[in-house]
Amino acid sequence: MIAKFCLLLCLLAACAPPPPASAPQTAAAQAGASEGAPTLAATTEILPAPTFSPTPPNYPWTDENAVVSGLCFAAAQQMAQQNQRFVLRSAQEHSDFYDAMDSADLCLRPVARAPFDFSGGRALAGLWSAGRGCTARHEVLAYGLDGSTLNITLHFLTQGNCDYELVRPFWIGFDGRLALNLTIAGG
């Protein structure tokens, strides 16, 4: 009976919370080091809890930027400068898109082609935006269905005073039975 009680006390001691972070002790103090002996100062620091981004909205499209990631900067920049938007509704149109990029001779090597699943009537659409700064991104300002048209309004945001030329894609997969109205506010 006494042995079980001792075991219970040992288990409870192992589960005790650590000492408060406001009073860290050095390793030398914990070990009872003598005067004049070298000391090792180890302190415990409590890091703040990680913060998490809010869950993004459940958009009626999928992010397909990876599908066009093999396009070189010069070609993407030209598409942005020409304000071109693309809607591809079949594997053949997708292949023709890559062929057109290759024939423009803007890239040093052929564009790396990534597949897209057009099954079930899905379509691939997108654009590139260009600007100057340190970072750039597209923000969705508004979206919605108007009859059989998917309307998406974006804002292209650049930040910082860096003198970098930036080009960012916005490519999505969506229900190809819908028409698409993709606009950039102020552009």
Domain residue ranges of the chain, discontinuous segments joined by +: 62-184
Q: pLDDT digit string (tens) for 9-53? A: 444 444 445 545 444 444 444 555 455 555 555 555 665 665 555
CA 20 – CA 42 distance, rounded (Å): 15
Nearest CA to 25 out of 44, 51, 6, 39 is that of 44
Q: pLDDT digit string (tens) for 66-111? A: 999 999 999 999 999 999 999 999 999 999 999 999 999 999 999 9
Nearest CA to 30 out of 40, 45, 16, 22 is that of 40
CA 27 – CA 132 distance, rounded (Å): 52
Task: Work out the number of other CB atoms within 10 angstroms of the CB of residue 181.
Answer: 13
CB-based contacts of 19, cutoff 8 Å, min separation 6: 25
